[in-house]
Structure 1
């Protein structure tokens, strides 16, 4: 009996070790699609990001001199809802500013939940009665950081219309 316990515990630990975890694929590369350098101050760089977000229909969630957060909702079909949240942080450089941008896509699906009622009568027990009603609600089904470099290139290109870019240092 004790041996089975240890074998089962060892198998559980092996399965847990083999499970896929996102951080194992994290590289922390020197070149990053999430940053761009601008020949402006951090407030002017974040102002450029604010203008880009507003011009594309994003709602501003937060706006400060060195940070902008915007959100935009999409509905690809009637049972799916997607929210794109973008955060821009602007940091000072000796010759300008650097903008760090991160976009997170959150997906929601429409789920239906049926209603029922329980009726309890002493000495007879409990009876579950369907009411015939149902409620639809959006349920979060996933969220992930947008990793597509072309998405960020388009964002930084739009920012450069309002703030001149610096050449990347190599």
Structure 2
């Protein structure tokens, strides 16, 4: 075989290897994690309760407190809490709960119904080590690097994921239900009766009594009339 033909065969072999490598990379590529998101479940991150928004969020706050979560926000319609975990010596995990309480628009008039929208976010942290070389200044020569080094450890976020396990949320919903205000479940709101207007009797002003002067009695006939004395 001539040298020219051997070089040609080697080139074809290298090209074939490159194509095989590219084909292998294309075959092992993974789908993006949000591709299978079908938006078909409405019970994993939401649950309805026969209570007001404030009562539902208060029950969520107590449920998180009972499990050691640090409450970072507590409002009548929003509760957030965080909890730290240490699954390994150099791994740190934080789980943040976010509960949004909204009124159920499909509830009948006069009923207390709300929906708790719950999301749990898991953040994973790892230790990152940074090596720093020491240097010493030496007169005219300048700085001289020595074989001494120090390392700085820093905790950096390496992953963040929204939890989607239905059983995980079901346990939280069951605990939230235990902390609902007694009597709030299936309780109807009684509208207060309108106030009855007070009946007032009109006051009629009384007129002052009229004084009629009395006339002198009549003088019988034949009675002499005494002359009136003369006034000097």
Q: CA deviation at 1:125?
A: 9.4
Q: Does 1:61 align with 2:72?
A: yes
CA distance in 2, matches of 1:35, 1:151: 13
Query: 1:6 maps to what in 2?
Result: none
Specify the alignment match of 1:137 in structure 2: 154
CA distance 1:45–1:78, shift in 2 (3 Å): same
Distance in 1 (alpha carbons) for counterparts of 2:135 and 2:145: 4
Deviation string, structure 1 residues 73-123 (Cα, Å, up to 9, x no partner): 0111211110000100001012400001000111111222111256799xx
> If each structure's helix is expressed as a fraction of its own residues, which one has the higher value?
1
RMSD of aligned alpha carbons? 2.7
CA distance, structure 2, for counterparts of residue 165 and residue 144 of structure 1:
34
| Structure 2 partner of 1:8 | none
Once the two structures are TM-superposed, the CA of residue 31 in structure 1 deviates from its matched residue by 3.2
The alignment's TM-score, normalised by the length of structure 1, stands at: 0.77
| Residue among 161, 164, 167 paired with 1:150 | 167
Instruction: Give 3-state SS (helix, strand or coil) of 1:156's partner.
Output: helix
Structure having greater relative contact order (Cα 8 Å, sep ≥ 6): 1
Q: Distance in 2 between matches of 1:22 and 1:130?
A: 46
Matched with 1:82 is 93
In the alignment, the residues of structure 2 paired with residue 128 and residue 153 of structure 1 have an alpha-carbon distance, to the nearest angstrom, of 60
The whole-number CA distance in structure 2 between the counterparts of 1:147 and 1:120 is 57
Q: Do structure 1's residue 116 and structure 2's residue 133 form an aligned pair?
A: yes
Work out the number of aligned pairs and report it. 150
Higher strand residue share: 1
TM-score (norm: length of structure 2): 0.57
Give unpaired runs (5+ residues) of structure 1: 1-10
Structure showing greater radius of gyration is: 2
Q: Structure 2: how far apart are the matches of 1:43 and 1:162? A: 13
